[in-house]
Structure 1
Amino acid sequence: MNHVVIIGGGFAGVWSAAGAALARGDADLRITLVAPNDRLVLRPRLYEPEPDRATVALDRILGPIGVEHVRATVSTIDTERRVIVADGTEIGYDRLVLASGSRLAPPAGLPGAERLFDIDTLAGARRLTDHLRGRDGYAAVVVGAGFVGLEAATELAARGRVLLVDTAETVGEPLGPGPRAAIEAALDELGVERRLGTTVTEVGDGYAVLSGGERVDADAVVWSTGIRAQELTRQLVHDPGDLDHLGRVPVDEWLRALPGVFAAGDTAAAPYDAEHTVMQACQHATPLGKVAGYNAAADLLGIPPRPFTPAPYVTCLYLGGAGGVFTRGWDRTVMATGADGAFVKEQINGYIHPPVDDAREILAAADRVYIDLPFFPREDEPEAPAAVRSAR
């Protein structure tokens, strides 16, 4: 029996499995997902105060669609022999999808780095939540004023004092100037202090030292900067220089990295257009998975593959008690802020939760590659806030 193997149990891995099952139909094809975890973690929601609610049991998705789950960690990909090694056991494949995701790169040589917290993983988010539980009025330092850092800082500001630190000279530099005024206004409303052009140089018991020498109170220091693809991508190239700056492997329009090997999610440097590659975010990981898994199975079954054609790029940022901000396009034109932006974020958080238990619903979702919600206006609709309000 032909065998499709998928590495990774995040958004891209789960949707790769569903995409492969969709292409399989009634054909004789074995599909196996290899991941050490037994739950899909809804990583974009780990800033929430109860991170365990942001998970879905994998067997409720994989079981109904006939996908095996091997709970193991992959250490080796042998593309010549077409085997992987997972916890010391070889697993053969005919087609492989690498969807092992990304990880937060810890700072090298930082004194007290073992005291850092993060919301990159479920275990990390649990540790931070447990540490701060019952400590209303705490002092927290968040390092990194990008997507993750802003969401962490604005959530933490509900119960404590927050200092946001970034080496950039502007808040939200990765988001560009479009939403900056809305973000700054939200931080001011929530009382989040900022130290820009600055980083943390030491973490101690109840304090942090900033690069200018300032010592600040810190019951928790949350590190949120430096996301890179998991290092299995290195095993798909002859030279690490062939990977992009985030450690991702280049893929073609079918998401093929090598003959017999596809990549999806945070491991794939897939073209978005002539100027951009996809983001390491669930809005791209989900369609990448659906297409990569489908094409891996289609390649074996002799059916036409699906090209990856990304949907219009949007950004939706949670800003705690100040609401949210929703933007459209790579210039991140602001379309909704405050309560309207928060509504969009809430709806997207619901959308990314995959259907469970019902094979028909799961496969139907795998067949719908892109998000289709009423507040995602067409390019010729300038009044996004009106679309949001009508959806509410």
Structure 2
Amino acid sequence: MKQQILIIGAGFGGLWSALAALRLLDQQQRQDVTVTLLAPQAELHVRPRLYEPDAASTTAPLGELFDAVGVNFVQGTATQIDTQGKRVSYVDATGAEQALAYDRLVLAAGSQVARPSQGGMDRHTFDVDSLASALELEDHLRSLRTLPDSPARNTVVVVGGGFTGIEAATEMPARLRAILGDSAAIRVIIVDPGKRVGIALGSQIAEVVAEASDTLGVQWRTGTLVTAVDANGVVLDNGERIDARTVIWAVGLRASPLTTQIAGERDRFGRLHTDQNLKVIGQDAVYATGDTAFVPCDDMGNHALMSCQHAIALGRSAGNNAVADLLGLKPIPYSQPKYVTCLDLGAWGAVFTEGWERQVVLTKAEAKELKIQINTQWIYPPAPDRASALAAADPLIPVVA
């Protein structure tokens, strides 16, 4: 019977884990190990682009690639992980309960937005965290044109001034004008607890965000929190009410709930602590990658972030090292010392930074050109050609040169 590497999730971490695992098996000329990937669909939802209009167009099919490289794809949703029995239970496409055995497990189940249950925040907000929720937001925005002109109809409140919130907010003026027309008195407001506009991203990048926001007409309510949301607006902790028919929640990611079924230490986002090879500390046969893994990415005290930039490299390392462990080979420790950001700022352009201090390198049109290249080329899966796809999964390839 063949041994099995089982990967849960078809996001960036899961996809690149599968390719890296197959790459090492190919190099070792091993035909006695199967790489199985369990996910609801054989497609990559390009999450970093879900703030854009037409979210459906950002989905990348994976079926041809899986066939080309030899991934055994199983359609289903994981429900239970039994680390003692080395089995994963799942619900298949028909709703039936099934199970898969594994010799090594790679958990790449990603993360999800976490809303507070109080104050209507879980019932009256939209998000761009998943394809389904981004499509729901699109439908809602299009429906605004059927409503009478009013301040509430024309106002979008974005809760959270981090990366997701800023990208969603700065894209929103153009999206609203396309739906409501140029004469509509649109308002886009970011509510953030930071004392200055964009300060959570660092002082240099904050200045650029402030300039772009002013140019685009995006307002900020800094130093405050949303305490309640209803169908017609939000209430802030300073007592201000903002009438808005659209509230986007862009704060509070948590690692997949599947992480709670694996014994181990977790960080404040629910990510499992791993060693440098991505093996979950205290586990013999379980690896975590992408948004489920808490691991240092350099020797300066920095840890991998919940981003595709890190998930791609984490996936390459996890898949390679799960196979190396199974075959008794030397692992390749995960290392990703270079960190960059490229933040989309709507019609204003973008900003590109280098280093953990986010030193600004490019802005406006130059940065926007790079952002488009990243979003439409660099982060997409490789072509369904076995040789080139497996070569691209080398864990020693830097994601950012």
Q: Give the TM-score normalised by the residue count of structure 1.
A: 0.90
CA distance in 1 between partners of 2:79 and 2:341 (Å)? 34
Structure 2 vs 1, CA of residues 279 and 112 (structure 1 numbering), >3 Å: closer, same or farther? Answer: closer
CA distance in 1 between partners of 2:64 and 2:173 (Å)? 35
**CA deviation map 1:61-83 (0-9, x unaligned):** 22211111111111221111111
Corresponding residue number in structure 1 for 2:111? 102
Choose the corresponding residue for 1:157, options 173, 177, 181. Answer: 173
Contact 1:132 1:138 in 2 (8 A): no
CA distance in 2 between partners of 1:216 and 1:34 (Å)? 43
Choose the corresponding residue for 1:41, options 30, 41, 45. Answer: 45
CA distance in 2 between partners of 1:325 and 1:351 (Å)? 17
CA distance in 2 between partners of 1:244 and 1:237 (Å)? 13
| Matched ranges for 1:55-94 at <5 A | 55-87=59-91, 88-94=97-103
Secondary structure in structure 2 of the residue aligned to 1:157: helix
Corresponding residue number in structure 1 for 2:294? 269
CA distance in 2 between partners of 1:224 and 1:142 (Å)? 7
- CA shift, 1:311, in A, is 4.1
Contact 2:8 2:108 in 1 (8 A): yes
Structure 2 vs 1, CA of residues 368 and 299 (structure 1 numbering), >3 Å: closer, same or farther? Answer: closer
**CA deviation map 1:219-270 (0-9, x unaligned):** 21000000011122122225xxx21111111111111112111111000001
CA distance in 2 between partners of 1:56 and 1:369 (Å)? 25
Between 328-337 and 267-276, the greater mean CA deviation after superposition: 267-276
Corresponding residue number in structure 2 for 1:19? 20
| Matched ranges for 1:304-319 at <5 A | 304-319=330-345
CA distance in 2 between partners of 1:369 and 1:202 (Å)? 47
Contact 2:312 2:399 in 1 (8 A): no
CA distance in 1 between partners of 2:21 and 2:360 (Å)? 36
Choose the corresponding residue for 1:351, options 378, 382, 387. Answer: 378
Contact 1:147 1:172 in 2 (8 A): no
Corresponding residue number in structure 1 for 2:56? 52
CA distance in 1 between partners of 2:396 and 2:172 (Å)? 34
Choose the corresponding residue for 2:163, options 127, 132, 147. Answer: 147
CA distance in 1 between partners of 2:121 and 2:159 (Å)? 14
Contact 2:234 2:241 in 1 (8 A): yes
CA distance in 1 between partners of 2:109 and 2:338 (Å)? 25
Corresponding residue number in structure 2 for 1:3? 4
Corresponding residue number in structure 2 for 1:31? 35
Secondary structure in structure 2 of the residue aligned to 1:367: coil
Between 207-216 and 72-81, the greater mean CA deviation after superposition: 207-216
Contact 1:263 1:292 in 2 (8 A): yes
Point out where structure 2 has 5 or more consecutive residues left out of the alignment: 92-96, 146-152, 177-185
CA distance in 2 between partners of 1:180 and 1:255 (Å)? 33
Structure 2 vs 1, CA of residues 112 and 228 (structure 1 numbering), >3 Å: closer, same or farther? Answer: closer
- CA shift, 1:370, in A, is 4.0
CA distance in 2 between partners of 1:112 and 1:341 (Å)? 34
**Matched AA of 2:195:** E
| Matched ranges for 1:219-368 at <5 A | 219-237=245-263, 242-257=265-280, 258-273=283-298, 274-349=300-375, 350-367=377-394
CA distance in 1 between partners of 2:65 and 2:243 (Å)? 44
Contact 1:146 1:171 in 2 (8 A): no
CA distance in 2 between partners of 1:37 and 1:217 (Å)? 38
CA distance in 1 between partners of 2:314 and 2:173 (Å)? 34
Identity of aligned residues (%): 43
CA distance in 1 between partners of 2:368 and 2:395 (Å)? 25
- Length, aligned pairs only: 371
Query: Over the residues paired in the alignment, what is the CA RMSD in angstroms?
Result: 1.7
Corresponding residue number in structure 1 for 2:148? none
CA distance in 2 between partners of 1:253 and 1:209 (Å)? 44
CA distance in 2 between partners of 1:182 and 1:13 (Å)? 34
- CA shift, 1:208, in A, is 2.2
**Matched AA of 2:391:** A
- CA shift, 1:148, in A, is 0.2
Q: Give the TM-score normalised by the residue count of structure 2.
A: 0.88
